[in-house]
Amino acid sequence: MPRAPRDRISIASYPFRAYIESPTNHERDPKLPGMDLRDFAGEVVKKFNVHNIEPHNRHFHSLDPAYLGSFREKLERANVKVVDIAVDGQDSFYDADPSTRKKAIAHAKQWVDIAIEIGSPSIRTHIQRPSNSAPHVQRAAESLREVAEYGAGKNVVVNLENDDLVSEDAFFVVKVIEAVNHPYLHSLPDFANSMMTGNADFNYRALEAMFQHAYCICHVKDGEADGHGKLLRIDMKKSFHILKASGYLGYCSMEFDAPGEPYAPTARLIEQTIRYLS
């Protein structure tokens, strides 16, 4: 992995979801100009002078080999690498129903295969919140051990994010990672998702716990919008201190997540990241 601060920066497609045209992207705003995910790499180079991206799985217009081949060609033309794929799904790794868990495992394996097709070294797989079970470390660990072993066979790292406050609570995620204890299962620390509790101290403790298991990708943002559109701000200096203290040397993916256009806020996140990593 690169060491220069700018070379460690990636841009997530998620903040640009209002612009990206895909049949599975339900957050496209038709009032805004649109782009295919294949053109996102060139847009990132042009607007931000960044050569790493983190596409979201719902932003792929198609998963057929021709589309993925075209996507990879455009990456090469723009001199851009995919450093992670953010993967959401409908089924939970700890669902009480074994058949549902099998579906979650199969979905994650499918995206490991797609990661190979587009040259991504890792995926972030979401832990869906099921209606029939509270968070269950053992069931989640059994499922994710199978995914991690599959990823190891393909040399693709599997990451878990502190996102959903219940199914992806940072301390639950850490317990699952420690229970699996596999070199291809790691954490994806998000700077502000745990701030949705409204408790800043909890957010920083969560970030510290997550960075102990991080390897190749984290999400940088200066806050997170709550359900009412209010931005819950975090201390960027403190967050980067936690990152550095952990010895983390992976990519930092910019993931602005608040109301409004994402271009200027993403540029500010890049500027702050370079400053704090330097």
pLDDT digits (tens, 9 = 90+) for 231-241: 899 999 999 99
Out of 132-141, 164-173, 221-230, 258-267, least confident range: 221-230
Q: What is the pLDDT of residue 202?
A: 98
CATH of the domain at 106: 3.20.20.150
Helix, strand, coil percentages for the chain (3-state, nearest 5): 45, 15, 40
Q: What is the pLDDT of residue 225?
A: 85
Is the residue at 144 inside a domain? yes
Q: Cβ(85)–Cβ(57) under 8 Å? A: yes
> What pLDDT band is residue 177 in, cutting at 50, 70 and 90?
very high
pLDDT at 231: 85
pLDDT of 137 over the 90 cut? yes
Average pLDDT, the chain: 98
Q: Classify residue 190 by its DSSP letter.
A: B
217 assigned to some structural domain: yes
The predicted model gives 146-155 an average pLDDT of: 99
Residue 220's pLDDT band, with cuts at 50, 70 and 90, is: very high
Specify the 3-state DSSP secondary structure of 220.
Answer: strand
Averaged pLDDT, 111-124: 99
The answer to whether residue 36 is domain-embedded is yes
Interval 19-45: pLDDT, tens: 999 999 999 999 999 999 999 999 999
What is the rounded end-to-end Cα distance, in angstroms, of the chain?
Answer: 16
Q: Tell me, yes or no, whether 89 lies in a domain.
A: yes
The parent domain of residue 96 ranges over: 6-277
Average pLDDT over residues 121-147: 99
Say whether pLDDT at 229 is over 90.
no
Q: Is the residue at 132 inside a domain?
A: yes
Report residue 122: phi and psi, to 5°: -155, 165
In a domain, 116, yes or no: yes
Q: Is residue 1 part of a domain?
A: no
pTM of the entire predicted model: 0.97
How sure is the predictor about 62, in pLDDT bands with cuts at 50, 70 and 90? very high
Q: What is the count of structural domains for the chain?
A: 1
Residue 194: the pLDDT is 97
Residue 228's pLDDT band (cuts 50, 70, 90): confident
- Residue 59's pLDDT is 99
Q: Residue 227: pLDDT above 80? A: no
What CA–CA distance (Å, rounded) separates 153 from 210? Answer: 25
Residue 141 lies in a domain: yes
Given a cut of 90, whether residue 230 has pLDDT beyond it is no
Q: What's the pLDDT band for 1 if we cut at 50, 70, 90?
A: confident
